[in-house]
Amino acid sequence: MFWNKDLKKNILTVSAIIRNQRSFANKLVTAALLALIAAILQAAGGVIPGIGMLISPFSTVPIIISMLLSQSYGLLSYFLTIFLLLFIQPSELIIFPFTTGAVAIGIGIGFILFNKGWKVITFSSLFLCIGICLLLYVLKFPVLGPFLIQFKVWNIFVIYLFSLVYCWLWIELVIRLLSKLITGQQGRF
C-alpha cells in the first residue's frame, strides 16, 4: 500500500531515465508507438468478443507511460489513439476518450502534480467518474449497461466509489511496474 508514500521520487526517476536517454525524434516515435499499442488494446474489446473485454482496459498503460515521457507526448498519444480507433474500431471510439483514456490522463497528471498516493488516486478517479457520468447522463450511452442509468446523487456516489477502486488498482499496478523498471535500469549501469 502506498497511500501516504512519497511517489514523486519514483516517478521523477523513471521520467528522468526516459527523458534523458532519448532524442526528440525517438520520443515522438515512442509516443506514436504507444498510441498504436493503446489503440490495438482498446480495439480488442470489439474485435475479440469476450476475452477482448478483459484486454481493452490495458490500453491505459501505454498512455500513462507516454504521460511520464512528457505531458505533451501523453496528450499526443491520447489524441492519436482516438484517431486510430476511428479507423480500427469505431465502436470503441466513444468508450476510450471518456473512460480508459481519461483514467490514463488523470493518472499521468496525478503522478506529475502530486506526491502522495491518495492524492493521485482521488484525482484520477475524478477523471474517470466525470467521464462515466458524461457518457451516462449527457450522451445517454449505457457504458455500465442498464445499471445506474437514472441520474441520482446515490448513483454518482456509487460511480465515484467504483472509480476510486478502479484507479487504486491501476495505480498500484503502475507503481509496481515502475519499481521493476527502476531496479532494472539501476542494474544496467
pLDDT at 35: 95
Predicted model pTM: 0.85
Which stretches of the chain drop beneath a pLDDT of 50? 189
What's the pLDDT score for residue 83?
A: 95
The pLDDT of residue 184: 64
Q: Say how far apart CA 176 and CA 37 lie, in whole Å.
A: 20
pLDDT at residue 125, rounded to an integer: 94
User: Cα(first)–Cα(last) distance of the chain, in Å?
Assistant: 29
pLDDT value, residue 129 = 93
Q: Look at residue 188 in the predicted model and tell me its pLDDT.
A: 52
* CB-based contact 185:10 (threshold 8 Å): no
Residue 106's pLDDT is 93
Can you give the residue ranges of every domain in the chain? 8-188
**Cell, residue 41:** 488494446
Report pLDDT for 189: 43
